[in-house]
Structure 1
Amino acid sequence: MTDLDPRSSIVMKLFVALQAWNIPYVVVGDTRQFPSTITSDIDLVIASGLFQKFQHLLCDFCDEEKINFVQVLKHEYEAWYCVLAWHDKSGHLWFLHPDICCHYIRLGRSYLNSEELLAGRYQPKDNSGLERGFFVPRPSHAFIYYLIKKIEKGQLTSDDGEYLNIQWQRDVKQALSLVQRFWPMPLAEQLALAATENRWSNIDSHSFKFRESLRKRAPISVKGLWLEGQRKINRLCNPTGIFIVFLGPDGSGKSTVLNRVKERLAPAFRRTRYYHLRPNWRCFSRKTQATQSPHASPPRGVFASLFKLGLWWADYFIGYWLDIYRRLVSSTFVVFDRYYYDLLVDARRYRYGAPRCLAILVGKFIPKPDLVILLDAPPEILLQRKQEVEFEELVRQRAGYKKVVNSLPNGNIVDSSKPLDQVVIQVEQIVLTYMTARLRRRQGSKGKRVWM
């Protein structure tokens, strides 16, 4: 177990906790280098009906280890993708992704239940004969689980084939029986030959044929359709993405901090999406160019400004519900560089010439982000970084941004005059704190400490 990757020690502590909690489990997939090398998710199968217990106990475990439990994505009706995150003493941001299932279900099709995957589980041994501290399925079921997974994904590498060959050789008779359970002859014979000779190129190149045959043996049931529908409705009502807005005067470091945070927090989500100022949804889309003189053009007249304000509202409202919200449902990290609030602070930049009270009124009907983060710095530093506006204007904007953000229940002010790494870590802590609190709120777990 390497000292360079703290995830290994956390994983082993989690396995000890699972034993103490009396939650039977197995690690499925290629565990030959595990846990000293963790390259992707940690696939776990636990006994049926125990996930709610597991989730609440995982919260307690994270409290003890000072880790943020930030995300649970239910990607099948019996499978949950969890995300744990924490900073080490040097400020490095670590992620751990336990992927928990009670039955092996893929796209609504149930292939293997937890009882058969847990039956006969054992602890593998290292080269010196010592137990490695975690449980795996018996070889035949480790083989069939991994084979089905690779056939479903349509990807079978030479390393995958080597692992399958090892498991096959350990229990040929039972593994062959499982292959025949999921594939008819002669496909079962082809798979058996590939496993025996460790030659998988023909299987990989014809994976579509094997996948179609596999799915015929495991059709989607009415119960499966019902549970899958419930899962999708729940995801629709409780999006697992997050919508964050960065504000600040020119020179506050928005672009630099935003890009760093977006890159570092990406492992907590399925994907990321960047916007500038507005959603720019379809008919409202317009390319804007950076300018060195944001106040050079005069304000529009009142009627032209009100018309523009209406277009902005339509873009924000329609763009949110037809674009941004669906991305949040699909677990996207949505990041805005500037937002509607900028109009309230710097109307001259957007040539707004109508009364400010009308802009405030329209703002009440603009979709609200989950978090608003103001990057603040003294005007002397802002002017040193960028000379696009006068010193007095920077003083005014800084006060205006603070007033707006302080009035928001989800507003946060970060001192961006500090070193970049410190600013990035503080922003990440704000995001992780919010996500941890949201998860606890959704699962009904109150009073738990949120670790930064």
Structure 2
Amino acid sequence: MENSASAPAPTIDPANLPALLRLLGYEPAAAGAAGVPLRGVRNPDGSLRWVWPATLRQPLFLEFYSATSPKARLFSALVRLVFWCRLQGLFFRQLPGRYVASGEQAWPTADFALFTGTPGPNRKAVCCYDDTSDQRVFAKLPLGPIAVQKVQAETAHLRALGQQEHAAFEVPQVLGAGPDFLLQTSVKRPGAHRAASFDSAHAYFLTELLAATSVRQPIEASICWHSIEAQVAALQDLDGSRVPFGLRAKLRHLRLSIDASRELSFAFAHGDFTPWNCWLGPEKLAIYDLELALPGASLLYDLFHFEVQQALLGSRRPARAIRTQALAVATEHFPAVPAEELGLAWQLYLLHQVATGALLYHAQTPWHPQVTWLLNGWNALLTLELTSVLEHRQLALYDLHDYVQLLAEPGVVLKPRADNAYYPAPTSDLDLLLTKENVLAGVQFMQEFGLLQSAVVRSAAHMQSVDCLFLDGSLLTVDLLHQLHRQALHLLDAQAVRGQAHRDEAGVYVPSLGHDFTYTWLFYWLNHSDMPLGHLRYFQRFPLARQAGLLAHLQISYGLSFHSIAEASVYHEASAAHLEFVLRRAPANHRARRWPRGLRYLLSTATEFLRPGGLVITFSGVDGAGKSTVIEHVKERLEKKWRKRVVVIRHRPSVLPIISAWKYGKQGAEARSIRSLPRQGQNFGLSSSLARFAYYYFDYVVGQVVIWLKYTRRGHVVLYDRYYFDFINDGRRSNISLPTRLTKVLYALVNKPQLNFFLYADPEEILRRKQELSASTIRQLTQEYQELFGQLDARYRRSRYVPIENHDLGQTLDLIGEYIGQEIHP
């Protein structure tokens, strides 16, 4: 049935049913003439999926359906039941028009089923029918020039494989072929079934292919590697592609991480080996759809593809489970392959498959839902391979940005200041504007991210915040907003901001310049602060005419005039009061709307108030041990890395002023305190010491409640430069002379901070820094503090008392950071 004279297949729109049927030798019947009516099943988007003559008595179209899941098997059984009961007309609508055979095609016969194909450049229609000898035949009909190449390639592969007898598998027999079609026999044998799990029959098939075609060579010499390099390079050069930037960047990183001089086995591969492209028969495995066959694929390419495609499109399992399962199956069936080579082969499979798929989907419009499933799944799998190559925070940014850009309603990055939103400043948070439904999905995405050590979710009326600690210790705070509010005030219309957003060079949606400036300006002014320098410099980069337009908008919308962006960036209390007045008068902030928002804000604030709060950390040590330097660095790290608000308190809560303030006033007392050296007080009397201690002790007992209400419950971190422990071991510093046993016992009623650090060093080093104490006093105090911290650590299990020898600032800060990390993200 060769037909070499047929013309090359034109590009055919699958929605054009007459054009499709013309490939089968059918044409629309003339008005009033007899013809064959058709029935069909549509895809969720309304396009036709399967078409067959209304006279068909058996559901022949199920030959195109992979019934491997319970749901699929149930659907298949119900369809067969409907046909057995002759109830097709009740469940499958008749399509418009009738068709008659034109006589230009010798196939198919009267009974056939037509699959309109999977969208994309490789799209082909597939017709199933029984020929005159009752042999089931499949006709592949390419619908475009690329599909023509694929069908011709499959024809060549089938003929080459068909020339040999295979012990473990069989392939379809080519009955006829031409530039615009391929006729092949069915390979489904009686008793055959589809297997969703890779088993010994699949392994025998791969073993036979490896034995016949395997070649061991350096990776860099293989066809596979040359293809990977070309495809990955092509992906980097795409402009305006819907294929997300993060996935393309990770392909580049993974390719660069592989040592291409290493040797590996390469062999012929099916290329699209999946449960739905093979039948597990009683004797052999039958394979078909070899249009993507690869002459030199990396080791076990088909095994990995079988596992990945089934997991991503079938069971929808998470990436880590897919990777674990794929490598476990490979180890079980191919135990002779070293684990190191399996890992390398797995990475080469991912590189080739993802790069191939990404280029295919770049050329394909529109995308069906499975494309998004695959892109998100591939992204997660690539992330697992790069855990030792890239910071986990960066990998999370890749994946999250890709995820929100692939949503039906993509997210918008607020206050985007980096040249590429995928690479923000190391200490920057990420603010995303999404729909309310996508906010919840975004929170779930972050909570399920494969490299997450812990995540703390904080809810507000208009947003959800996720504080992420990753396995490598890096951090990222993500604010997912669905409304642009501040407390009860509506600032901007979120739907308008999303609607007017545009894609930047990396494909990320960012607000228009007007929305960006207005939201940034409102955000800081309504928080009673200046616009930070980084934001100011960003807006000053634009031409003066555009800056003038931004300022004109502030004049028109809020009645505030500024001569420059720099002037507008500086917070002014009177102007801010006017701004709030104008906002309250806006229709969006009418009382009927503002009050419910205010109530929701109060409820979310109350809910947050009841959640675990902030953290209290104390630093003790003799003068010269380096407390001030350490506290300064810890504060900076907490603010920039951990994104925490930090309050530094000296010695005590200071709800009550120092005693001398009653006599000299606050400023005079502070000046005298600065001029005087520690431990020089002349108070040695018991009664006066009791009085002074009682005053300060009352400050601790009452003040700890104030600190808790004012800071800790709001999530702040409080750093104490010295704490109550000085009253126990170094009362002379506070001009107090009391028994240690008394002050130690009364610690029971004082707040127990979560972390307490005692910093010490060699007396010689301390004296080099400050010559305020003798070497013997330093040794004595150091020993007493170490003993005290050991006793307290054994007694109060919910607090930690940690002595640290501060001889290397970097090591000290790293150790303190580990303890802080355990408290913030337990």
Does TM-score exceed 0.5, indicating one fold? yes
Q: Could you tell me which runs of 5 or more consecutive residues in structure 1 were left unpaired when the two chains were aligned.
A: 127-131, 438-452
Cα deviation, residue 411, structure 1? 1.1
Q: Which runs of structure 2 are paired with 1:205-354 in the superposition (5 Å)?
A: 212-217=581-586, 218-219=588-589, 221-238=594-611, 240-267=613-640, 268-269=642-643, 271-284=645-658, 287=670, 288-289=673-674, 294=679, 299-301=684-686, 303-323=687-707, 325-347=709-731, 349-350=733-734, 352-354=736-738
Match of 1:374 among 736, 741, 758: 758
RMSD over equivalenced CA pairs, Å: 4.8
- C-alpha contact (below 8 Å) 1:372/1:405 kept by paired residues: no
Larger RCO: 1 or 2 (CA < 8 Å, sep 6+): 1
1:405/1:323 CA distance change after superposition, 3 Å: same
- C-alpha contact (below 8 Å) 1:375/1:414 kept by paired residues: yes
| Percent sequence identity over aligned pairs | 19
Task: State the distance in 2 between where 1:203 and 1:351 align.
Answer: 51
Q: Could you tell me which runs of 5 or more consecutive residues in structure 2 were left unpaired when the two chains were aligned.
A: 1-244, 254-389, 526-530, 661-669
TM-score normalised over the length of structure 1: 0.69
Say if 2:523 is the partner of 1:134.
Answer: no
Cα deviation, residue 145, structure 1? 5.6
Match of 2:461 in 1: 77
Cα deviation, residue 44, structure 1? 0.6
Say if 2:451 is the partner of 1:64.
Answer: yes
Query: Which protein is bigger by CA-based radius of gyration?
Result: 2
Q: Which runs of structure 2 are paired with 1:34-73 in the superposition (5 Å)?
A: 34-35=420-421, 36-38=423-425, 40-51=428-439, 53-61=441-449, 64=451
Match of 2:518 in 1: 147
Match of 1:14 among 400, 403, 407: 400
1:135/1:380 CA distance change after superposition, 3 Å: same
1:436/1:95 CA distance change after superposition, 3 Å: closer
SS at structure 1 position matched to 2:750: coil
- C-alpha contact (below 8 Å) 2:558/2:582 kept by paired residues: no
Query: What is the one-letter code of the residue matched to 1:257?
Result: V
Cα deviation, residue 328, structure 1? 3.0
Cα deviation, residue 226, structure 1? 0.9
- C-alpha contact (below 8 Å) 2:458/2:466 kept by paired residues: yes
1:304/1:269 CA distance change after superposition, 3 Å: farther
- C-alpha contact (below 8 Å) 1:73/1:240 kept by paired residues: no
- C-alpha contact (below 8 Å) 1:247/1:375 kept by paired residues: yes
1:404/1:26 CA distance change after superposition, 3 Å: same
Say if 2:813 is the partner of 1:431.
Answer: no
Task: State the distance in 1 between where 2:568 and 2:718 align.
Answer: 39
Cα deviation, residue 19, structure 1? 6.3
- C-alpha contact (below 8 Å) 1:15/1:133 kept by paired residues: no
Deviation per residue, 1:237-268 (Å, 9 max, x gap): 34754221112345543222222212222233
1:22/1:247 CA distance change after superposition, 3 Å: farther
What is the count of residue pairs matched by the alignment?
A: 400
Cα deviation, residue 230, structure 1? 1.4
SS at structure 1 position matched to 2:509: coil
Q: More deviation in 202-211 or 341-350?
A: 202-211
Q: More deviation in 319-328 or 349-358?
A: 349-358
SS at structure 2 position matched to 1:364: helix
Cα deviation, residue 118, structure 1? 4.4
Task: State the distance in 2 between where 1:189 and 1:356 align.
Answer: 63
Cα deviation, residue 45, structure 1? 1.1
Task: State the distance in 2 between where 1:31 and 1:417 align.
Answer: 38
Task: State the distance in 2 between where 1:344 and 1:199 align.
Answer: 58
Match of 2:792 in 1: 404
Task: State the distance in 1 between where 2:598 and 2:635 align.
Answer: 35
1:369/1:45 CA distance change after superposition, 3 Å: same
Query: What is the one-letter code of the residue matched to 1:147?
Result: T
- C-alpha contact (below 8 Å) 2:689/2:738 kept by paired residues: yes
TM-score normalised over the length of structure 2: 0.41
Task: State the distance in 2 between where 1:406 and 1:152 align.
Answer: 47
1:296/1:310 CA distance change after superposition, 3 Å: closer
